[in-house]
A and B are shown apart, each in its own frame.
Chain A
Amino acid sequence: MKIIALVLGLVLSSLLQAAPSRVIALSWEATEYLLTLGVTPIAVADRADYQQWVVEPALPSKVLDAGSRLEPNLERIYALKPDLIVINPALAGMQANLEKIAPTLLLDAFRAEHDNASAAEQLQRRLAVRLDRLAQHAAFVRQQGLELARLRQTIGQRFGAKPPAVCLIRFASPASFWVYGENSLPEAAMHALGLQNACPQQRTAWGTRLRKIPDLAALDQGLLLHIAPFPRQAELERSRLWQALPVVRERRVYAMPPVWTNGGMYSISRLARQISAQLQSSQRD
């Protein structure tokens, strides 16, 4: 009798403490963490834009839209009966309201005061603990370490001890661009590959800064990678100043496929893969 009660108690308590399975992510970095851990959220914020701008990790088609990231739809979230809601600081003011629906987890990924890359690892781990997915997390970290080491090795084989530095940007207009500097995920990916950032920038919360095209004149060595697509590319390319930039004249400019720069560990891997692929192709011509 005692044994049965004990077993029953164990079963009950494990049921009560079961890891959340119906999760809603209201930020894109949280969406990325979840998919990396092998958890399919029931809904994410700005679903359509995620598929266009983040692309990977791919969102299964059954995932619903929870509204915008700034103002997710509370009533839909309630109706979906989640058991965990993951948010970022943009929704910190709404946390009390969201708590009425389900337990929330605030993941503060981008801050000037901490290292965004290591924060990404810690936050994904926190989420893994909460979702009882530590094994998946550990496996991902291990596999990422191996992959980065392999990429680093290939670069080392190609370029020896001094691989070219890399400058990563996203065009904002034909006259200006956002550049990724200290504390950005692209720079973390570069460092993981043993590369230098060719256009270092002061530390900011997101690691990005808006700059003007003439600033690229200082880029006398290294590669310039810009994140495609840029709808006004033609306007940029017809510019005499652009054509006269050393980095353009020496054909050191490469377009990267769409890649998300404000994600987490998965984004770092993906950025590293893209950067290394560009480096490999750069030597061929």
Chain B
Amino acid sequence: MKRPSLTLLGVALIVLAFSHLQLATPLSLGEQWQTIRQPGDGQIEEMIFLHAHLPRTILAMLLGAAMALSGSLLQQLTLNPLASPMTLGTSAGAWCAIVLGGLLWPGSAIGIEWLALGGSLLSFLLLGALAGWRQLHGLGALLAGTALNLLLGSVAAIAVMMNDQYSRSLLVWGAGDLAQNDWYWVHWVLPRLLPALLLLPLLCRPLQLLQLGSEAAAAAGLNVLRLALVGSLLALWLNGLAISAVGLIGFVSLLAPALARLLGASRPADNMRYAALIGSITLLLADTLAMYASQWLSDILPSSAAAGLLGAPVLIWLCLKQPLADGVALLSSPGKSRRLLPLAFWLAAGLLILLLCALGSRDAGGAWVLGWPEAAIWSLRWPRLLAACAAGMGLAIAGLILQRLLNNPLSSPDLLGISSGASLGMLAGLLLGSSLSPWLFSAAGAALVLLALCWLAPRQSPARLILLGIGLSSLLEAVLQFVLAQGNNDSFQLLNWLAGSTYHTTAAQAASLFGLVSLLGLITLGTARVLTLLSLGEAHARATGLDVRHARWVLLLLAGLLSLVISSQFGPMAFIGLVLPQLAIKLGARRLGSQLGLATLLGAAMLALADLASRTAFFPNQLPVGALGSLACGSLLLLALLSSPRSRT
């Protein structure tokens, strides 16, 4: 494709900025010019133009460029065309840190940009640990990033829900809107962009070398570690600035450098220049859309939601188009794994945990009790306990299927996009305010995605399907922000659901969920031979006369159905389906049958414990079981990573 010149893009930017300014002001062009030339305490319309519109336009351009540069740097450092603060989960880390900082130490002296930088740095380290520093160019990084997004999102959601009145304004602010009242944020951002201006020219040449691959670059005398350190710090800093100034705005950081590359700007210096311009253009365009829509919409459309609505389709298209290394993460590396303890031991341990969870509670005064509950209490407790166990079992089974199917230990059912479909359906149900049960909507949303997946499955490689799921979750985030930005009661009901609550489960729902999960689990056991063959590699499977495409389709459907029945009830639950099958292997269950059994048992026990913690930890307040389960599994994973010294570097 012939590349349009920088001048052309520059002209487009100026035209767009100009039209952005004309959108909401009654002033004529002459009056605008007069206002800019002689700013004074004039008419209110002039003040609005000078102190609301003009800084908004300029901030959109500045932050658009900053986010795009951040994405461009990350993509070049990781050599991953779909890397960005959004897809790697560092934006979520920054946001989580800001939320926790604001709630735990209100009015503290730490600058918000440092919280953002710290949070995103931590989540970046987590990402590296999860996916492996040398695997950041592959699918694994995106999978780990999406899982981190879900996890950190639910941590922030718990914090917000436990302080719901205070958090309302936090939600409105964090939803990512560019509205300005003065030049404060422009003045705030400008000096902080300085490190970027100084460092970026210096980084161009080393980055160019890095394109050869890190070994070759190191052989050519490049200090790869230093480059990675400086580059990623700079990228996180730039994105942290944008989050501190206007809240979460995704997509720009991903799309701008990718589009720049599509236009042919693949050399680092070129890519950054083009990305910066395209980033500014994208954000201005999104903000124009947001301002325009807010004029005739009865509610305010935040800029981030507009960016998401523009960006998500492009992202999905990119996902289908970009070549991407199907990197195998190191998690599965057959390290020392202990011998499997006898089945009887695991069953006994599982039963003990279940019993503990069923009998443990706190009485009216808040004291701990362990004893057989009264019949009425039991009838309140067992549905949610059973539902939690069923969810844990189902997620573990679905995770196992997907990991064997894709040969990737980082794949898990919450990344398939089915839970995003369920969440989107739930949202639609709430927005329509229909008298139908919202669960009907979430099930419909999940089913729709599952149908699309089944239609796509024979045509696309499994890795692409996962990428589509990631695209869909990003779309969900955009729509979500629109609802959360209103900061009203619907926002909280939605957050609650997204955090994976089993609170509203009725006895009939719990029983049927358990029945369905058990049934699908048994079917999975029936496909054990096929799964084992597939996990040995596609060629191997084909050699034995297996219809690989057909088998894949059936297994995907199986995992999808499991994900559907669970996520349409409880929303997304991250990490559980990812960690438990791996944990089963670590505990020695290598054969498929025993892995399936142990993972299922672990799932039931883990979520039963989460249910106990949900009921008792912050008594009398409840915590969402899904979020607790995700947290527990996430920390387990982290512990496992930290305790097993592997040759990573």
A residues in contact (CB < 8 Å) with B: 46, 49, 52-53, 64-68, 70-76, 78-80, 90, 93-94, 96-97, 100-101, 171-176, 178, 202, 206, 208-214, 217, 231-232, 235-236, 238-242, 244-246
B489 and A68: CB pair below 8 A? no
A245 and B622: CB pair below 8 A? no
Contact residue among B45, B493, B496, B621 (Cβ-Cβ distance under 8 Å from A67):
B621
- Best-buried of A65, A67, A74, A232 by chain B (most CB within 10 Å): A74
Residue of A whose beta carbon sits closest to that of B171? A172
Q: Tell whether A172 pairs with B51 under 8 Å between CB atoms, given A66-B620, A71-B503.
A: no
Residue of B whose beta carbon sits closest to that of A211? B300
Contact residue among B161, B299, B364, B381 (Cβ-Cβ distance under 8 Å from A80):
B364
- Best-buried of B299, B486, B501, B621 by chain A (most CB within 10 Å): B621
Number of A-B contacts (CB under 8 A): 138
B380 and A210: CB pair below 8 A? no
Write out the residue numbers on chain B whose beta carbons fall within 8 Å of the beta carbon of A93.
Answer: 504
Q: Tell whether A100 pairs with B379 under 8 Å between CB atoms, given A175-B177, A206-B489, A210-B299.
A: yes
A214 and B52: CB pair below 8 A? yes
B184 and A239: CB pair below 8 A? yes
11 interchain pairs, CB-CB under 8 A? A67-B621, A73-B615, A73-B621, A73-B622, A76-B619, A100-B376, A202-B298, A211-B300, A217-B48, A238-B182, A240-B183
* Residue B334 interfacial (CB < 8 Å): no
A78 and B376: CB pair below 8 A? yes
B179 and A175: CB pair below 8 A? yes
B172 and A65: CB pair below 8 A? no
Residue of B whose beta carbon sits closest to that of A213? B181
Residue of B whose beta carbon sits closest to that of A66? B620
- Known: A52-B165, A100-B380, A210-B300; 16 extra A-B contacts, CB below 8 A, are A49-B164, A70-B161, A71-B496, A73-B615, A79-B364, A97-B380, A172-B173, A173-B172, A174-B181, A176-B300, A206-B489, A214-B48, A217-B44, A240-B47, A240-B50, A242-B182
B486 and A210: CB pair below 8 A? yes
B493 and A70: CB pair below 8 A? yes
Write out the residue numbers on chain A whose beta carbons fall within 8 Å of the beta carbon of B298.
Answer: 202, 209
A212 and B493: CB pair below 8 A? no
B489 and A90: CB pair below 8 A? yes
Write out the residue numbers on chain A whose beta carbons fall within 8 Å of the beta carbon of B496.
Answer: 70-71
Beta-carbon contacts under 8 Å, B296-344 to A:
298-300
B180 and A175: CB pair below 8 A? yes
A75 and B381: CB pair below 8 A? yes
Residue of A whose beta carbon sits closest to that of B183? A240
Contact residue among B45, B374, B501 (Cβ-Cβ distance under 8 Å from A71):
B501
* Residue B488 interfacial (CB < 8 Å): yes
Write out the residue numbers on chain B whose beta carbons fall within 8 Å of the beta carbon of A208.
Answer: 488
Write out the residue numbers on chain B whose beta carbons fall within 8 Å of the beta carbon of A100.
Answer: 376, 379-380
CA A76 to CA B620, docked complex, whole Å: 7
A70 and B300: CB pair below 8 A? no
Residue of B whose beta carbon sits closest to that of A49? B165
* Residue B492 interfacial (CB < 8 Å): yes
Write out the residue numbers on chain B whose beta carbons fall within 8 Å of the beta carbon of A101.
Answer: 376, 380
B41 and A244: CB pair below 8 A? yes
Write out the residue numbers on chain B whose beta carbons fall within 8 Å of the beta carbon of A232.
Answer: 169
B299 and A75: CB pair below 8 A? no
CA A96 to CA B509, docked complex, whole Å: 13
Write out the residue numbers on chain A whose beta carbons fall within 8 Å of the beta carbon of B173.
Answer: 172-173
CA A70 to CA B501, docked complex, whole Å: 11
B380 and A78: CB pair below 8 A? yes
- A51 CB to closest chain B CB (Å) equals 11
Contact residue among A68, A74, A79, A97 (Cβ-Cβ distance under 8 Å from B621):
A68
* Residue B361 interfacial (CB < 8 Å): yes
CA A4 to CA B546, docked complex, whole Å: 89
4 smallest CB-CB distances across A and B, nearest first, come from A79-B364, A239-B181, A244-B47, A241-B51
A239 and B51: CB pair below 8 A? yes
Write out the residue numbers on chain B whose beta carbons fall within 8 Å of the beta carbon of A217.
Answer: 44-45, 48
* Residue B107 interfacial (CB < 8 Å): yes
CA A46 to CA B486, docked complex, whole Å: 22
* Residue B4 interfacial (CB < 8 Å): no
Q: Tell whether A75 pairs with B184 under 8 Å between CB atoms, given A68-B161, A96-B506, A246-B44.
A: no
* Residue B168 interfacial (CB < 8 Å): yes
Q: Tell whether A236 pairs with B181 under 8 Å between CB atoms, given A66-B620, A173-B173.
A: yes
